[in-house]
Chain A
Amino acid sequence: MKLGLVIDLDTCVGCNACAVACKQWNTSGTTGPLSDYRPFGKDPSGVWFNRIRHYEVGDYPGSKTVHFPMSCMHCEDADCVTVCPTGASWKRPEDGIVLVDQDKCMGCNYCAWACPYGARELDREDGVMKKCTLCVDRIYDEELPEEERQPACVLTCPAHARFFGDLDDPDSEVSTLVRERDGGQLMPELGYNPTNLYLKPRKPAQVPPHDAPAGAGGADDAGGDSGGGLAARVKNWVNRAVAR
Protein backbone atom coordinates (compact mmCIF):
# COMPACT_ATOMS: atom_id res chain seq x y z
CA MET A 1 0.00 0.00 0.00
CA LYS A 2 1.28 3.46 -0.86
CA LEU A 3 -0.82 6.10 0.86
CA GLY A 4 -0.47 9.64 -0.36
CA LEU A 5 -2.14 12.81 -1.50
CA VAL A 6 -3.03 14.06 -4.93
CA ILE A 7 -3.41 17.82 -5.13
CA ASP A 8 -5.30 19.55 -7.89
CA LEU A 9 -3.61 22.85 -8.69
CA ASP A 10 -6.49 23.72 -10.99
CA THR A 11 -9.07 23.99 -8.25
CA CYS A 12 -6.96 25.02 -5.26
CA VAL A 13 -7.98 28.54 -4.31
CA GLY A 14 -5.17 29.12 -1.82
CA CYS A 15 -7.48 29.65 1.14
CA ASN A 16 -5.09 27.99 3.66
CA ALA A 17 -7.97 25.97 5.14
CA CYS A 18 -5.89 22.77 4.77
CA ALA A 19 -2.99 24.31 6.68
CA VAL A 20 -5.26 25.51 9.46
CA ALA A 21 -7.11 22.18 9.70
CA CYS A 22 -3.75 20.39 9.76
CA LYS A 23 -2.44 22.60 12.52
CA GLN A 24 -5.64 22.22 14.52
CA TRP A 25 -5.70 18.42 14.26
CA ASN A 26 -2.00 17.82 14.84
CA THR A 27 -1.41 20.36 17.57
CA SER A 28 -3.94 18.49 19.69
CA GLY A 29 -2.99 15.05 18.36
CA THR A 30 -0.21 12.57 19.02
CA THR A 31 2.53 14.73 17.44
CA GLY A 32 1.40 17.90 19.13
CA PRO A 33 1.77 20.55 20.22
CA LEU A 34 2.91 22.44 17.13
CA SER A 35 4.56 25.29 18.97
CA ASP A 36 3.94 28.91 18.11
CA TYR A 37 6.60 31.52 18.71
CA ARG A 38 5.51 35.06 19.60
CA PRO A 39 1.93 34.34 18.48
CA PHE A 40 0.75 37.82 19.46
CA GLY A 41 4.00 39.62 18.66
CA LYS A 42 5.14 41.63 15.70
CA ASP A 43 6.60 38.67 13.83
CA PRO A 44 4.56 35.59 14.74
CA SER A 45 6.02 32.27 13.66
CA GLY A 46 5.58 28.62 14.42
CA VAL A 47 5.55 25.02 13.27
CA TRP A 48 3.33 24.12 10.35
CA PHE A 49 3.16 20.82 8.48
CA ASN A 50 1.46 22.32 5.47
CA ARG A 51 2.41 25.57 3.79
CA ILE A 52 0.78 27.25 0.83
CA ARG A 53 2.78 29.40 -1.56
CA HIS A 54 1.44 31.37 -4.48
CA TYR A 55 2.99 31.62 -7.92
CA GLU A 56 2.34 33.28 -11.24
CA VAL A 57 2.82 30.76 -14.02
CA GLY A 58 3.22 31.88 -17.62
CA ASP A 59 3.44 35.41 -18.97
CA TYR A 60 0.77 38.05 -19.29
CA PRO A 61 -1.80 37.83 -20.82
CA GLY A 62 -1.65 34.03 -20.70
CA SER A 63 -0.56 33.82 -17.08
CA LYS A 64 -2.29 32.08 -14.21
CA THR A 65 -2.06 32.37 -10.46
CA VAL A 66 -1.33 28.97 -8.98
CA HIS A 67 -1.76 28.25 -5.29
CA PHE A 68 0.67 25.62 -4.17
CA PRO A 69 0.04 23.64 -0.98
CA MET A 70 3.00 21.54 0.12
CA SER A 71 3.35 19.03 2.91
CA CYS A 72 5.45 15.90 3.32
CA MET A 73 5.56 13.93 0.05
CA HIS A 74 6.15 10.61 1.89
CA CYS A 75 8.86 9.85 -0.68
CA GLU A 76 9.60 6.28 -1.67
CA ASP A 77 13.33 7.00 -1.55
CA ALA A 78 13.25 9.32 1.41
CA ASP A 79 16.74 10.60 2.22
CA CYS A 80 15.42 12.14 5.44
CA VAL A 81 15.07 8.59 6.74
CA THR A 82 18.43 7.25 5.59
CA VAL A 83 20.46 10.24 6.84
CA CYS A 84 18.92 10.15 10.33
CA PRO A 85 21.67 8.98 12.71
CA THR A 86 19.37 8.08 15.59
CA GLY A 87 16.70 6.07 13.81
CA ALA A 88 14.05 8.58 14.90
CA SER A 89 13.02 9.11 11.28
CA TRP A 90 11.37 6.08 9.76
CA LYS A 91 9.12 4.96 6.92
CA ARG A 92 6.32 2.54 7.65
CA PRO A 93 6.71 -0.51 5.42
CA GLU A 94 2.99 -1.25 5.36
CA ASP A 95 1.71 2.06 3.94
CA GLY A 96 4.79 4.19 3.22
CA ILE A 97 4.04 6.94 5.73
CA VAL A 98 7.22 8.73 6.89
CA LEU A 99 7.18 9.50 10.62
CA VAL A 100 9.44 10.88 13.35
CA ASP A 101 9.77 9.11 16.69
CA GLN A 102 9.99 12.13 18.96
CA ASP A 103 11.43 10.07 21.83
CA LYS A 104 14.50 9.25 19.75
CA CYS A 105 15.05 12.53 17.87
CA MET A 106 18.04 14.60 19.02
CA GLY A 107 17.12 17.67 16.95
CA CYS A 108 20.22 17.77 14.74
CA ASN A 109 18.27 19.15 11.73
CA TYR A 110 20.06 16.77 9.36
CA CYS A 111 16.80 15.32 7.99
CA ALA A 112 15.51 18.84 7.26
CA TRP A 113 18.71 19.48 5.28
CA ALA A 114 18.08 16.28 3.30
CA CYS A 115 14.46 17.17 2.45
CA PRO A 116 14.09 19.13 -0.80
CA TYR A 117 10.43 19.94 -0.15
CA GLY A 118 10.80 21.79 3.15
CA ALA A 119 8.47 19.30 4.81
CA ARG A 120 10.28 19.06 8.13
CA GLU A 121 10.32 21.75 10.75
CA LEU A 122 12.17 21.77 14.04
CA ASP A 123 9.95 22.59 16.99
CA ARG A 124 12.23 24.96 18.88
CA GLU A 125 10.18 24.64 22.07
CA ASP A 126 10.21 20.83 22.16
CA GLY A 127 13.62 20.47 20.49
CA VAL A 128 12.51 17.73 18.10
CA MET A 129 11.79 17.52 14.40
CA LYS A 130 8.13 17.39 13.42
CA LYS A 131 6.39 16.68 10.16
CA CYS A 132 3.17 15.70 8.41
CA THR A 133 1.96 12.30 9.58
CA LEU A 134 -0.68 11.95 6.86
CA CYS A 135 -2.96 12.05 9.92
CA VAL A 136 -1.92 8.52 10.80
CA ASP A 137 -3.83 8.94 14.07
CA ARG A 138 -7.00 9.61 12.11
CA ILE A 139 -7.02 7.52 8.94
CA TYR A 140 -6.93 4.24 10.90
CA ASP A 141 -9.25 5.33 13.71
CA GLU A 142 -12.16 2.91 13.67
CA GLU A 143 -14.07 5.09 16.12
CA LEU A 144 -14.60 7.57 13.29
CA PRO A 145 -17.21 7.04 10.59
CA GLU A 146 -15.55 5.60 7.52
CA GLU A 147 -15.89 8.73 5.37
CA GLU A 148 -14.01 10.72 8.02
CA ARG A 149 -10.97 8.41 8.04
CA GLN A 150 -9.02 10.84 5.89
CA PRO A 151 -6.33 13.44 6.62
CA ALA A 152 -7.70 16.65 8.12
CA CYS A 153 -6.47 18.73 5.17
CA VAL A 154 -8.39 16.57 2.68
CA LEU A 155 -11.61 16.61 4.69
CA THR A 156 -11.62 20.35 5.11
CA CYS A 157 -10.68 21.46 1.58
CA PRO A 158 -13.64 23.58 0.39
CA ALA A 159 -12.48 23.49 -3.24
CA HIS A 160 -12.14 19.70 -3.22
CA ALA A 161 -8.59 20.10 -4.48
CA ARG A 162 -7.06 17.44 -2.24
CA PHE A 163 -7.48 13.69 -2.62
CA PHE A 164 -6.24 10.92 -0.36
CA GLY A 165 -5.84 7.29 -1.22
CA ASP A 166 -3.72 4.32 -2.13
CA LEU A 167 -1.52 5.12 -5.12
CA ASP A 168 -0.55 1.46 -5.45
CA ASP A 169 -4.15 0.52 -6.26
CA PRO A 170 -4.73 1.30 -9.96
CA ASP A 171 -8.49 1.60 -9.43
CA SER A 172 -8.39 4.05 -6.53
CA GLU A 173 -9.70 7.58 -6.99
CA VAL A 174 -6.20 9.04 -6.70
CA SER A 175 -4.67 6.67 -9.25
CA THR A 176 -7.51 7.36 -11.71
CA LEU A 177 -7.04 11.10 -11.29
CA VAL A 178 -3.30 10.83 -11.81
CA ARG A 179 -3.86 8.77 -14.94
CA GLU A 180 -6.51 11.06 -16.41
CA ARG A 181 -4.95 14.37 -15.49
CA ASP A 182 -1.29 13.40 -15.95
CA GLY A 183 -0.28 13.92 -12.33
CA GLY A 184 3.38 14.65 -11.75
CA GLN A 185 6.08 14.69 -9.10
CA LEU A 186 7.93 17.79 -7.92
CA MET A 187 11.68 17.86 -8.61
CA PRO A 188 11.72 14.29 -9.98
CA GLU A 189 15.36 14.79 -11.03
CA LEU A 190 16.55 14.53 -7.42
CA GLY A 191 15.32 10.94 -7.35
CA TYR A 192 13.38 11.04 -4.08
CA ASN A 193 10.36 9.54 -5.84
CA PRO A 194 7.73 11.53 -3.91
CA THR A 195 4.43 9.76 -3.38
CA ASN A 196 2.28 12.90 -3.38
CA LEU A 197 1.46 14.01 -6.91
CA TYR A 198 0.23 17.29 -8.36
CA LEU A 199 -2.38 17.77 -11.08
CA LYS A 200 -1.57 20.72 -13.31
CA PRO A 201 -4.16 23.39 -14.09
CA ARG A 202 -6.33 22.59 -17.08
CA LYS A 203 -5.56 24.62 -20.17
CA PRO A 204 -7.42 27.90 -19.73
CA ALA A 205 -9.76 29.23 -22.43
CA GLN A 206 -7.95 31.95 -24.33
CA VAL A 207 -9.79 35.17 -23.63
CA PRO A 208 -8.13 38.28 -25.07
CA PRO A 209 -7.78 40.87 -22.33
CA HIS A 210 -9.35 44.18 -23.17
CA ASP A 211 -6.22 46.25 -23.17
CA ALA A 212 -4.36 43.94 -25.51
CA PRO A 213 -4.23 44.92 -29.18
CA ALA A 214 -6.89 43.47 -31.44
CA GLY A 215 -6.13 39.95 -32.52
CA ALA A 216 -3.85 39.26 -29.57
CA GLY A 217 -5.13 36.00 -28.17
CA GLY A 218 -2.25 34.39 -26.40
CA ALA A 219 1.20 34.87 -25.07
CA ASP A 220 2.78 34.57 -28.52
CA ASP A 221 1.59 37.87 -29.96
CA ALA A 222 1.09 39.79 -26.74
CA GLY A 223 2.10 43.41 -27.03
CA GLY A 224 2.86 43.13 -30.73
CA ASP A 225 1.58 45.91 -32.95
CA SER A 226 1.71 43.98 -36.17
CA GLY A 227 -2.07 43.49 -36.66
CA GLY A 228 -4.67 45.96 -37.90
CA GLY A 229 -4.68 48.62 -40.53
CA LEU A 230 -3.10 52.08 -40.51
CA ALA A 231 -5.74 53.55 -38.18
CA ALA A 232 -5.25 50.78 -35.63
CA ARG A 233 -1.49 51.19 -35.79
CA VAL A 234 -1.75 54.95 -35.26
CA LYS A 235 -4.11 54.38 -32.34
CA ASN A 236 -1.72 51.85 -30.89
CA TRP A 237 1.18 54.24 -31.21
CA VAL A 238 -0.79 57.09 -29.63
CA ASN A 239 -1.80 54.83 -26.77
CA ARG A 240 1.78 53.92 -26.07
CA ALA A 241 3.09 57.46 -26.50
CA VAL A 242 0.47 58.93 -24.16
CA ALA A 243 1.04 56.26 -21.54
CA ARG A 244 4.66 57.26 -21.49
Chain B
Amino acid sequence: MQPALSIIFFTVVSGAGLGLFIVLAVAGLFGAPQTGAALSACVAGLVLTTLGLVSSTLHLARPKNAWRAFSRFRTSWLAREAVLAIIFYPLALAYTALWWTRANALDNPVWVAVSLLIGLIALATVFSTGMIYACLKTIRQWHTPLTPVNYVVLALMTGHLLLLALQDLAGGQVSAFEMEIALGLLAAGALMKLAYYAWIAPPQGPTINTATGFTRANVRLLDVGHGAGTFLTEEFGFQLARRRRVLLRWCVFILGFVLPALLLLAGLAQALAVRPAALAAPALALAGIFIERWLFFAEAQHVVNLYHGRRQT
Protein backbone atom coordinates (compact mmCIF):
# COMPACT_ATOMS: atom_id res chain seq x y z
CA MET B 1 0.00 0.00 0.00
CA GLN B 2 1.06 3.55 -0.64
CA PRO B 3 1.59 5.03 2.85
CA ALA B 4 -0.57 8.17 2.93
CA LEU B 5 0.88 10.69 5.41
CA SER B 6 -2.54 12.13 6.26
CA ILE B 7 -3.82 8.72 7.40
CA ILE B 8 -0.60 7.89 9.27
CA PHE B 9 -0.76 11.22 11.11
CA PHE B 10 -4.46 10.69 11.82
CA THR B 11 -4.10 7.20 13.29
CA VAL B 12 -1.06 8.05 15.43
CA VAL B 13 -2.19 11.43 16.72
CA SER B 14 -5.87 10.78 17.31
CA GLY B 15 -4.90 7.36 18.70
CA ALA B 16 -2.68 9.12 21.25
CA GLY B 17 -5.41 11.67 22.03
CA LEU B 18 -8.09 9.01 22.53
CA GLY B 19 -5.63 6.86 24.49
CA LEU B 20 -4.95 9.84 26.73
CA PHE B 21 -8.68 10.08 27.49
CA ILE B 22 -8.92 6.34 28.22
CA VAL B 23 -6.04 6.32 30.73
CA LEU B 24 -7.20 9.62 32.22
CA ALA B 25 -10.70 8.21 32.72
CA VAL B 26 -9.30 5.18 34.52
CA ALA B 27 -6.69 7.13 36.52
CA GLY B 28 -9.31 9.73 37.44
CA LEU B 29 -11.56 7.08 38.97
CA PHE B 30 -8.63 5.97 41.11
CA GLY B 31 -7.96 9.57 42.10
CA ALA B 32 -4.50 9.64 40.59
CA PRO B 33 -4.03 12.88 38.60
CA GLN B 34 -4.27 16.33 40.13
CA THR B 35 -6.91 18.64 38.70
CA GLY B 36 -4.41 20.82 36.80
CA ALA B 37 -2.80 17.82 35.17
CA ALA B 38 -6.18 16.30 34.32
CA LEU B 39 -7.45 19.51 32.74
CA SER B 40 -4.33 19.89 30.62
CA ALA B 41 -4.69 16.23 29.63
CA CYS B 42 -8.30 16.86 28.56
CA VAL B 43 -7.27 19.82 26.45
CA ALA B 44 -4.33 17.94 24.94
CA GLY B 45 -6.53 14.92 24.19
CA LEU B 46 -9.16 17.07 22.47
CA VAL B 47 -6.54 18.94 20.44
CA LEU B 48 -4.76 15.75 19.34
CA THR B 49 -8.00 13.95 18.43
CA THR B 50 -9.25 16.94 16.47
CA LEU B 51 -5.96 17.39 14.62
CA GLY B 52 -6.06 13.71 13.67
CA LEU B 53 -9.65 13.78 12.48
CA VAL B 54 -9.07 16.92 10.43
CA SER B 55 -5.98 15.30 8.91
CA SER B 56 -8.01 12.20 8.00
CA THR B 57 -10.22 14.28 5.72
CA LEU B 58 -7.16 15.49 3.79
CA HIS B 59 -6.90 12.23 1.86
CA LEU B 60 -10.48 12.42 0.65
CA ALA B 61 -10.82 13.23 -3.02
CA ARG B 62 -14.14 14.99 -2.39
CA PRO B 63 -14.20 16.22 1.24
CA LYS B 64 -17.50 18.04 0.78
CA ASN B 65 -19.26 14.68 0.95
CA ALA B 66 -17.45 13.70 4.18
CA TRP B 67 -20.58 14.37 6.24
CA ARG B 68 -22.19 11.38 4.54
CA ALA B 69 -19.65 9.08 6.18
CA PHE B 70 -21.88 8.77 9.27
CA SER B 71 -24.65 6.98 7.42
CA ARG B 72 -23.61 3.35 6.92
CA PHE B 73 -22.56 2.42 10.46
CA ARG B 74 -24.50 -0.83 10.24
CA THR B 75 -21.94 -2.40 7.89
CA SER B 76 -18.92 -0.10 7.62
CA TRP B 77 -16.23 0.22 10.28
CA LEU B 78 -15.22 3.57 8.79
CA ALA B 79 -18.73 4.90 9.39
CA ARG B 80 -18.73 3.39 12.90
CA GLU B 81 -15.50 5.19 13.65
CA ALA B 82 -16.95 8.47 12.39
CA VAL B 83 -20.11 8.05 14.50
CA LEU B 84 -18.13 7.12 17.62
CA ALA B 85 -15.82 10.09 17.11
CA ILE B 86 -18.83 12.38 16.98
CA ILE B 87 -20.33 10.83 20.13
CA PHE B 88 -16.93 11.30 21.76
CA TYR B 89 -16.91 15.10 21.53
CA PRO B 90 -19.88 16.09 23.73
CA LEU B 91 -18.81 13.46 26.28
CA ALA B 92 -15.23 14.75 26.26
CA LEU B 93 -16.45 18.30 26.81
CA ALA B 94 -18.74 17.17 29.64
CA TYR B 95 -15.86 15.25 31.19
CA THR B 96 -13.58 18.30 30.97
CA ALA B 97 -16.32 20.44 32.54
CA LEU B 98 -16.60 17.99 35.44
CA TRP B 99 -12.88 18.34 36.13
CA TRP B 100 -13.16 22.12 35.77
CA THR B 101 -15.96 22.33 38.34
CA ARG B 102 -14.04 20.00 40.68
CA ALA B 103 -16.94 17.53 40.54
CA ASN B 104 -14.52 14.61 40.45
CA ALA B 105 -15.68 12.86 43.57
CA LEU B 106 -16.35 9.16 43.65
CA ASP B 107 -19.66 9.75 45.41
CA ASN B 108 -20.84 11.79 42.41
CA PRO B 109 -22.67 9.30 40.17
CA VAL B 110 -22.56 11.67 37.18
CA TRP B 111 -18.78 11.81 37.43
CA VAL B 112 -18.43 8.03 37.58
CA ALA B 113 -20.85 7.51 34.69
CA VAL B 114 -19.21 10.09 32.44
CA SER B 115 -15.75 8.73 33.28
CA LEU B 116 -16.78 5.22 32.36
CA LEU B 117 -18.58 6.37 29.21
CA ILE B 118 -15.74 8.52 27.91
CA GLY B 119 -13.29 5.66 28.52
CA LEU B 120 -15.50 3.18 26.69
CA ILE B 121 -16.33 5.47 23.75
CA ALA B 122 -12.67 6.43 23.27
CA LEU B 123 -11.70 2.75 23.43
CA ALA B 124 -14.41 1.82 20.93
CA THR B 125 -13.24 4.58 18.57
CA VAL B 126 -9.65 3.33 18.59
CA PHE B 127 -10.91 -0.23 18.16
CA SER B 128 -12.96 0.86 15.13
CA THR B 129 -9.88 2.48 13.61
CA GLY B 130 -8.15 -0.87 13.88
CA MET B 131 -11.14 -2.74 12.48
CA ILE B 132 -11.19 -0.47 9.39
CA TYR B 133 -8.00 -2.25 8.39
CA ALA B 134 -8.58 -5.63 10.02
CA CYS B 135 -11.86 -6.26 8.17
CA LEU B 136 -10.21 -6.13 4.71
CA LYS B 137 -9.83 -9.67 3.38
CA THR B 138 -7.73 -8.33 0.51
CA ILE B 139 -4.72 -7.44 2.67
CA ARG B 140 -3.52 -10.38 4.73
CA GLN B 141 -1.09 -8.27 6.77
CA TRP B 142 -4.10 -6.38 8.13
CA HIS B 143 -6.72 -9.12 8.19
CA THR B 144 -5.81 -10.37 11.64
CA PRO B 145 -7.10 -9.75 15.20
CA LEU B 146 -3.62 -8.40 15.95
CA THR B 147 -4.50 -5.24 14.00
CA PRO B 148 -7.14 -3.83 16.40
CA VAL B 149 -5.00 -5.04 19.33
CA ASN B 150 -2.11 -3.12 17.76
CA TYR B 151 -4.13 0.08 17.56
CA VAL B 152 -5.59 -0.18 21.07
CA VAL B 153 -2.34 -1.10 22.84
CA LEU B 154 -0.30 1.59 21.10
CA ALA B 155 -3.00 4.20 21.77
CA LEU B 156 -2.99 3.30 25.47
CA MET B 157 0.80 3.32 25.53
CA THR B 158 1.26 6.73 23.88
CA GLY B 159 -1.69 8.14 25.83
CA HIS B 160 -0.28 7.01 29.16
CA LEU B 161 3.19 8.38 28.38
CA LEU B 162 1.61 11.72 27.45
CA LEU B 163 -0.37 11.73 30.71
CA LEU B 164 2.83 11.22 32.71
CA ALA B 165 4.50 14.12 30.91
CA LEU B 166 1.50 16.40 31.49
CA GLN B 167 1.32 15.42 35.15
CA ASP B 168 4.97 16.29 35.56
CA LEU B 169 4.59 19.58 33.68
CA ALA B 170 1.54 20.57 35.73
CA GLY B 171 3.70 20.32 38.82
CA GLY B 172 2.24 17.12 40.14
CA GLN B 173 4.04 14.11 41.45
CA VAL B 174 4.44 11.19 39.04
CA SER B 175 4.15 8.12 41.25
CA ALA B 176 6.34 5.07 40.85
CA PHE B 177 3.21 2.99 40.26
CA GLU B 178 2.26 5.10 37.24
CA MET B 179 5.79 4.70 35.84
CA GLU B 180 5.50 0.94 36.33
CA ILE B 181 2.22 0.89 34.43
CA ALA B 182 3.93 2.82 31.62
CA LEU B 183 6.69 0.21 31.59
CA GLY B 184 4.07 -2.53 31.44
CA LEU B 185 2.35 -0.85 28.49
CA LEU B 186 5.69 -0.41 26.70
CA ALA B 187 6.42 -4.10 27.21
CA ALA B 188 2.95 -5.05 25.99
CA GLY B 189 3.39 -2.87 22.89
CA ALA B 190 6.78 -4.35 22.08
CA LEU B 191 5.56 -7.93 22.57
CA MET B 192 2.50 -7.27 20.46
CA LYS B 193 4.62 -5.81 17.66
CA LEU B 194 6.95 -8.83 17.82
CA ALA B 195 3.95 -11.15 17.55
CA TYR B 196 2.57 -9.09 14.65
CA TYR B 197 5.83 -9.15 12.70
CA ALA B 198 6.17 -12.88 13.30
CA TRP B 199 2.57 -13.40 12.17
CA ILE B 200 2.93 -11.52 8.88
CA ALA B 201 6.33 -13.03 8.01
CA PRO B 202 5.25 -16.23 6.19
CA PRO B 203 3.34 -15.66 2.92
CA GLN B 204 -0.25 -16.89 3.11
CA GLY B 205 -3.52 -16.53 1.30
CA PRO B 206 -4.24 -16.16 -2.40
CA THR B 207 -1.53 -16.77 -4.99
CA ILE B 208 -1.15 -15.79 -8.62
CA ASN B 209 -2.64 -19.24 -9.31
CA THR B 210 -5.88 -18.77 -7.42
CA ALA B 211 -6.07 -15.19 -8.68
CA THR B 212 -6.10 -16.35 -12.29
CA GLY B 213 -7.84 -19.67 -11.68
CA PHE B 214 -4.94 -21.71 -13.07
CA THR B 215 -4.21 -23.72 -9.96
CA ARG B 216 -2.41 -26.61 -11.65
CA ALA B 217 0.22 -24.81 -13.68
CA ASN B 218 2.87 -22.15 -13.28
CA VAL B 219 1.56 -18.70 -14.08
CA ARG B 220 3.89 -15.88 -15.08
CA LEU B 221 3.02 -12.35 -16.01
CA LEU B 222 3.95 -11.57 -19.61
CA ASP B 223 2.58 -8.07 -19.91
CA VAL B 224 0.69 -5.92 -17.46
CA GLY B 225 -1.20 -4.13 -20.20
CA HIS B 226 -0.34 -0.53 -19.37
CA GLY B 227 2.77 1.47 -20.15
CA ALA B 228 2.66 4.04 -17.36
CA GLY B 229 1.21 3.74 -13.86
CA THR B 230 -2.47 3.27 -13.13
CA PHE B 231 -4.59 4.01 -10.08
CA LEU B 232 -3.98 0.42 -9.02
CA THR B 233 -0.19 0.58 -9.23
CA GLU B 234 -0.09 4.00 -7.57
CA GLU B 235 -2.34 2.94 -4.70
CA PHE B 236 -1.24 -0.67 -4.17
CA GLY B 237 2.06 -1.12 -5.98
CA PHE B 238 4.31 0.25 -3.23
CA GLN B 239 7.19 -2.13 -2.50
CA LEU B 240 9.49 -1.79 0.47
CA ALA B 241 13.09 -2.90 0.04
CA ARG B 242 14.03 -5.62 2.52
CA ARG B 243 17.03 -3.80 3.99
CA ARG B 244 15.01 -0.64 4.52
CA ARG B 245 12.28 -2.65 6.20
CA VAL B 246 14.70 -4.27 8.64
CA LEU B 247 16.26 -0.90 9.46
CA LEU B 248 12.88 0.72 10.04
CA ARG B 249 11.71 -2.13 12.27
CA TRP B 250 14.80 -1.62 14.44
CA CYS B 251 13.90 2.08 14.60
CA VAL B 252 10.36 1.16 15.73
CA PHE B 253 11.57 -1.02 18.56
CA ILE B 254 14.41 1.25 19.73
CA LEU B 255 12.57 4.57 19.46
CA GLY B 256 9.12 3.31 20.26
CA PHE B 257 9.73 0.94 23.12
CA VAL B 258 13.34 0.45 24.28
CA LEU B 259 14.50 4.05 24.78
CA PRO B 260 11.29 5.23 26.52
CA ALA B 261 11.47 2.18 28.79
CA LEU B 262 15.14 2.85 29.62
CA LEU B 263 14.34 6.51 30.40
CA LEU B 264 11.50 5.51 32.72
CA LEU B 265 13.66 2.87 34.40
CA ALA B 266 16.37 5.48 34.95
CA GLY B 267 13.72 7.79 36.42
CA LEU B 268 12.44 5.02 38.68
CA ALA B 269 15.95 4.17 39.88
CA GLN B 270 16.55 7.90 40.42
CA ALA B 271 19.56 7.75 38.15
CA LEU B 272 17.84 10.51 36.21
CA ALA B 273 15.45 13.25 37.28
CA VAL B 274 11.83 12.35 36.60
CA ARG B 275 11.19 15.44 34.45
CA PRO B 276 13.53 14.70 31.47
CA ALA B 277 12.47 11.07 31.55
CA ALA B 278 8.76 11.89 31.57
CA LEU B 279 9.13 14.48 28.82
CA ALA B 280 11.44 12.58 26.47
CA ALA B 281 9.64 9.22 26.75
CA PRO B 282 6.41 10.24 24.93
CA ALA B 283 8.32 12.20 22.28
CA LEU B 284 10.52 9.20 21.45
CA ALA B 285 7.59 6.79 21.63
CA LEU B 286 5.48 8.91 19.26
CA ALA B 287 8.38 9.12 16.79
CA GLY B 288 8.71 5.33 16.95
CA ILE B 289 4.97 4.84 16.50
CA PHE B 290 4.98 7.15 13.46
CA ILE B 291 7.53 4.82 11.85
CA GLU B 292 5.50 1.82 13.03
CA ARG B 293 2.39 3.20 11.33
CA TRP B 294 4.28 4.03 8.15
CA LEU B 295 5.50 0.42 8.08
CA PHE B 296 1.97 -0.85 8.77
CA PHE B 297 0.92 0.66 5.45
CA ALA B 298 4.15 0.11 3.53
CA GLU B 299 4.31 -3.60 4.36
CA ALA B 300 0.68 -4.28 3.46
CA GLN B 301 0.39 -6.18 0.19
CA HIS B 302 -2.95 -5.95 -1.57
CA VAL B 303 -3.98 -9.07 -3.53
CA VAL B 304 -4.44 -7.03 -6.71
CA ASN B 305 -0.63 -7.11 -6.93
CA LEU B 306 -1.02 -10.78 -7.85
CA TYR B 307 -2.49 -9.68 -11.17
CA HIS B 308 0.56 -7.48 -11.66
CA GLY B 309 2.92 -10.42 -11.39
CA ARG B 310 3.56 -11.09 -7.69
CA ARG B 311 3.39 -14.80 -6.93
CA GLN B 312 2.03 -14.39 -3.43
CA THR B 313 1.38 -11.59 -1.00
A-side residues, CB < 8 A to B, are: 16, 42-45, 47-48, 51-59, 65-66, 68, 70, 79, 81-88, 103-110, 112-118, 121-122, 124, 127-128, 184-192, 198, 200
Contacts and interface: CB of A to CB of B under 8 A. Distances in A.
A85 B76 contact: yes
B220 to A, nearest CB: 5
Given A116-B304, A127-B61, A55 B72 contact: no
B229 A118 contact: no
A187 B211 contact: yes
Contacts, number: 178
B137 A185 contact: no
Nearest to A16: B225
B72 A106 contact: no
A57 B221 contact: no
B149 interface: no
Nearest to B302: A113
The contact size tier of chain B is: 35 or more
Contacts of B61: 106-109, 122, 124, 127-128
A58 B78 CA distance: 42
Contacts of B226: 45, 51
Contacts of A121: 230-232
B59 interface: yes
Nearest to B223: A54
| A57, A59, A70, A127: residue with the most chain B Cβ atoms closer than 10 Å | A57
Contact of B62 (A66, A105, A113, A184): A105
A83 B231 contact: no
A53 to B, nearest CB: 5
A109 B211 contact: no
15 contacts: A16-B225, A47-B231, A51-B230, A53-B308, A59-B217, A79-B136, A82-B75, A83-B75, A85-B76, A103-B65, A104-B68, A105-B62, A106-B64, A107-B65, A128-B61
A108 B66 CA distance: 9
A120 to B, nearest CB: 8
Interface in B31-90: 59-66, 68-73, 75-79, 82
A110 B138 contact: no
Contacts of B210: 186-189
A62 B274 CA distance: 72
Interface of B: 1, 59-66, 68-73, 75-79, 82, 132, 135-139, 205-206, 210-214, 217-232, 235-236, 302-304, 307-308
Contacts of A109: 59, 61, 235
B218 A57 contact: yes
A108 B307 contact: no
A103 B65 CA distance: 8
Contacts of B307: 53, 68, 70, 117-118
Nearest to A130: B231
B62 A106 contact: yes
Given A82-B75, A190-B303, A55 B220 contact: yes
A106 B63 CA distance: 6
